[in-house]
């Protein structure tokens, strides 16, 4: 049935995107593509393989994996019921849990450990501000099935190398160890005793978490709590011999590679799944949203989501924050311009011109083809104007006279003189290379 038009049609209201979820437009999208290419090449050099998991996962995966008393699970998840079967689903707020689910589900550790990486959108219902969005993107690396400190070191060096190869400066590394569950338990008692002596300064959230997840209080962003957080007992002093040995082995390997770090005994990270190593890469150039990458070991998560116990370690990196730094610190990117703008004065030349344009593209020449309004191709003058603003190095003019001679005019748009020459259409693939710049 066709929609009936009302007699006095009102103008449809303009639809806008969801708050905190951004469009990534050209020319900025070129920086994203460039970055993704760098990541792929680097991951290949470290022999990490790509994994792609769904954006929607069962809500239980995150509740169980990340911990019920965490910022993400308490207030940041986009959760909904499947309209058809009532299943509780959530847009992934992070990807470690999904990777672990996939690894367990497909029994990937059957033949030994795995080194994996992913890139993609994550969703958290946070207050949008610079460096904090509701849809944002992460690159993550996860190493599963290996318990030694050497993979902790490899992952940290991999991130540091990425920053170096992106031309970034002033990203510092902070390191801590959260020890093992029994050590955490002893620390937990000391922590509760400490906070109980400062009930007057605790905020509502801290009070609520005091007996469920006191470690989370150390991660509080409330400035009023900083003093009592700073004087809290440190997990590092509760570590036993094996945990300390792991920490020291990691430090030795970072030292051997000349990677500087500071130990931050208050670094706890936002999810409950971490043990032993935790770390963050932080910059002071982005204001308060300065953590560009965070990660650590999560040796109990695989078991937690129902897999056979196996150790694991990984990190996640915020692409928006990192690209903001790239914009500030890296040399500007070359403008994206085609090699050639194809000027087609008369629509009757289109079929023949199109064929030549396709053969040039097949040879690797970047060609922007003039397209008309639907009512003709437009004047030569307007076509030349578009050729100029496209940034193309050459204009190819498929004029009717040249076409009649089986030729096309190649005009230089950037040599100042506007020099031009005729080329044979039939041999386009032979002279295609003369149009190509490096891209």
Q: What residues make contact with ligand ATP under the rule CB under 6 A?
A: 94, 124, 126, 131-133, 136, 138, 270, 289, 291-294, 316-318, 320-321
- Say how many C-beta atoms besides its own lie within 10 A of residue 234's C-beta: 16
Residue with token string 């367990």: 104
Nearer to ligand ATP, 135 or 243 (CB): 135
Q: 3-state DSSP call for residue 337?
A: coil
**Shortest distance in whole angstroms from residue 270 CB to ligand ATP:** 4
Task: Estimate to the nearest angstrom the gap between the alpha carbon of 337 and the chain centroid.
Answer: 25
Cβ-closest residue to ligand ATP?
Answer: 318
- Say how many C-beta atoms besides its own lie within 10 A of residue 74's C-beta: 16
Nearer to ligand ATP, 131 or 148 (CB): 131
**Shortest distance in whole angstroms from residue 321 CB to ligand ATP:** 4
Tokens of 64: 């169980």
**Shortest distance in whole angstroms from residue 132 CB to ligand ATP:** 4
Task: Estimate to the nearest angstrom the gap between the alpha carbon of 199 and the chain centroid.
Answer: 40
Nearer to ligand ATP, 70 or 177 (CB): 70
- Over the Cα atoms of the chain, what is R_g? 29
Nearer to ligand ATP, 140 or 399 (CB): 140
What residue spans of 117-276 are helical by DSSP H?
Answer: 149-165, 181-196, 204-209, 226-230, 241-256
Tokens of 299: 């040796």
**Shortest distance in whole angstroms from residue 177 CB to ligand ATP:** 17
Taking each helix axis as running N to C, give the angle between helix 149-165 and helix 241-256, from 0 to 180 degrees, rounded to the nearest 10: 30
DSSP per position, 289-304? --EEEEEEE-TTHHHH
**Shortest distance in whole angstroms from residue 431 CB to ligand ATP:** 48
Name the phi and psi angles at 369, rounded to 5.
Answer: -90, 135
Taking each helix axis as running N to C, give the angle between helix 59-66 and helix 96-105, from 0 to 180 degrees, rounded to the nearest 10: 110
Name the phi and psi angles at 203, rounded to 5.
Answer: -85, 175
Nearer to ligand ATP, 136 or 163 (CB): 136
**Shortest distance in whole angstroms from residue 22 CB to ligand ATP:** 10
Nearer to ligand ATP, 11 or 127 (CB): 127
Instruction: Look at residues 109, 119, 179 and name the one whose alpha carbon lies nearest to residue 145.
Output: 109
Task: Measure the N-to-C terminal CA separation of the chain; round to a whole number of Å.
Answer: 50
**Shortest distance in whole angstroms from residue 200 CB to ligand ATP:** 26
Tokens of 131: 């460096």
**Shortest distance in whole angstroms from residue 126 CB to ligand ATP:** 5
Nearer to ligand ATP, 307 or 318 (CB): 318
Nearer to ligand ATP, 17 or 258 (CB): 17
**Shortest distance in whole angstroms from residue 317 CB to ligand ATP:** 6
Nearer to ligand ATP, 320 or 402 (CB): 320
Name the phi and psi angles at 47, rounded to 5.
Answer: 60, 40
């Amino acid at each position: 049935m066709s929609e009936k038009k009302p007699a006095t049609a009102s103008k449809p209201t303009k639809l806008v995107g969801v708050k905190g979820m951004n469009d990534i437009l050209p020319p900025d999208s070129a920086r994203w593509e460039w970055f993704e290419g760098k990541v792929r090449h680097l991951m290949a050099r470290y022999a990490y393989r790509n994994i792609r998991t769904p954006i929607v996962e069962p809500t239980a995966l995150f509740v169980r994996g990340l911990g019920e008393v965490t910022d993400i699970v308490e207030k940041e998840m986009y959760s909904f019921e499947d309209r058809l079967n009532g299943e509780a689903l959530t847009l992934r707020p992070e990807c470690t849990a999904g990777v672990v689910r996939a690894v367990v589900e497909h029994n990937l550790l059957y033949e030994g450990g795995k080194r994996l990486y992913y890139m993609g959108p994550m969703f958290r219902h946070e207050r949008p501000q610079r460096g904090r969005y509701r849809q944002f993107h992460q690159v993550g690396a996860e190493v599963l099935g290996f318990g030694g400190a050497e993979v902790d070191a490899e992952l940290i060096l991999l991130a540091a190398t990425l920053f170096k190869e992106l031309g970034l400066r002033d990203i510092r590394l902070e390191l801590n160890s959260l020890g093992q569950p029994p050590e955490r338990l002893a620390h937990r008692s000391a922590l509760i005793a400490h906070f109980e002596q400062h009930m007057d300064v605790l905020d509502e959230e801290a009070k609520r978490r005091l007996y469920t997840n006191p470690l989370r209080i150390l991660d509080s962003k409330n400035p009023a709590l900083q003093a009592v957080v700073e004087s809290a007992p440190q997990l590092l002093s509760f570590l036993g011999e094996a945990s300390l040995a792991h920490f020291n082995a990691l430090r030795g390997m970072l030292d051997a590679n000349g990677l500087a770090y500071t130990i931050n005994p208050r670094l706890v990270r936002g999810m409950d799944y971490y043990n032993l190593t935790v770390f963050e890469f932080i910059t002071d150039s982005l204001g308060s949203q300065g953590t560009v990458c965070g990660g650590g070991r999560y040796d109990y998560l695989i078991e937690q989501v129902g897999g056979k116990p196996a150790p694991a370690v990984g990190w996640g990196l915020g692409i928006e924050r990192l690209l903001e730094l790239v914009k500030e610190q890296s040399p500007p990117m070359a403008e994206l311009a085609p090699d050639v703008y194809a000027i087609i004065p008369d629509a009757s030349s289109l079929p023949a011109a199109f064929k030549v344009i396709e053969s040039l593209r097949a040879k690797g020449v970047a060609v922007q083809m003039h397209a008309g309004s639907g009512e003709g191709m437009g004047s030569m003058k307007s076509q030349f104007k578009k050729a100029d603003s496209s940034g193309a190095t050459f204009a190819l003019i498929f004029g009717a006279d040249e076409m009649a001679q089986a030729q096309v005019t190649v005009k230089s748009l950037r040599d100042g003189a506007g020099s031009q020459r005729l080329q044979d259409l039939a041999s386009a693939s032979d002279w295609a290379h003369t149009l190509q710049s490096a891209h």
